[in-house]
Amino acid sequence: MSSKTHEIAHDVAEHPVHGTAIYWWIGLYLTLVTGGEIACFYFEHVIGPWVTPLILALSAVKFALVVMFYMHLKYDSRVFSGIFIFGAALGTLAITGVTILYHVLDVLR
């Protein structure tokens, strides 16, 4: 098979190069961040109006950790990242669009 056929091929390793330890670490981070989210919820009165963005930021971190490490996007082809980010971006667009229309510009409801 000539390498010419691999036009946008990245030399992708079939297996991640590292061992499984990193997965355990990620698992730990996920647990900690989840703990952080829940703490935010319970200390809402302390944190004030910043809870919502804070919780959203924490969950974005979790999202990124799972997608990058458990779903291997960090190591895998950029084509996959592109496809996923496209879908995720449109999904986010739909959510934010509707949320803005209903909760920011809700002139008549």
Partner 1 sequence: MATTTATAAIPAPAVAQPKTGLWSWITTVDHKRIGILYFWTSLSFFLIAGLEALLVRTQLIRPDNHFLSANWYNQLFTMHAVTMIFLALMPLMAAFFNYVVPLQIGARDVAFPRLNALSYWIYLFGGLFLTIPIFLGKMPDGGWFNYANLSEPAFSPGLNIDFYVLGLQILGLSSIISSINFIVTIINMRAPGMRLMRMAPFTWMTLITAVMMATAMAVLTIALTELMFDRFFGAAFFDVSRGGDPVLWQHLFWIFGHPEVYILILPIFGIISEVIPTFSRKPLFGYNVVIFSGILIGWLGWGVWSHHMFAVGLGPIADSFFAVSTMLIAIPTGIKIFNWLATLWGGSIRFTTAMMFATAFIATFTIGGISGVMHAAAPADLQQTDTYFVVAHIHYVFFGGTVMGLFAGIYYWFPKMFGRFLDERLGQAHFWLTFIGMNITFFPMHFLGLLGMPRRTFTYADGLGFDTMNLIATLGSYLIGLATLILAYNVVRSARAGKRAPANPWGAAMLEWAMPSPPPEYNFATIPVVRSRMPLWEGSNVLAEGIPHGREMEDTEEVTFAGAKLGKVSYPDDENIMSADDLGIHLPPPSVLPILLALALSLFFASFLGSHWLSLAAVICVALLVFAFAFEPGHSGH
Partner 2 sequence: MDSAARAADPAHLDTSTGLDSRKMAFWTFIGSECLLFGSLIATYMAYKGASVTGPCPHTTLLWNGQQCPGILDIPLTSISTFDLLMSSLMMVLGLAAVQRGNQKRAAIWLGMTAFLGAIFLGFQSYEFTTFWHEGLTLQTNLFGTTFYTLTGFHGAHVFVGVIYMTVLAVLAWRGKLGPEKSLNVEIGGLYWHFVDVIWVVIFPLVYLIP
* Residues of this chain that bind partner 1 (CB under 8 A): 1-2, 4-5, 7-8, 79, 83, 86-87, 90, 93-94, 97-98, 101, 105, 107-109
The 8-class DSSP code of residue 8 comes to: S
105 interface partner picked from partner 2, partner 1, none, CB below 5 to 8 A per type: partner 1
Residues 75-94 that bind partner 2 (CB under 8 A): 77, 79-80, 83-84, 86-88, 90-94
C-beta of residue 78 within 8 angstroms of C-beta of residue 10 = yes
Q: Kindly provide the b/e burial profile for residues 68-89, where b requires at least 16 CB atoms within 10 angstroms of the residue's own CB.
A: ebeeebeebeeeeeeeeeeeee
Amino acid in the structure at residue 53: P
For residues 13 and 90, which CB has a smaller minimum distance to partner 1 in the complex?
A: 90
Q: Does 32 bind partner 2 (CB under 8 A)?
A: no
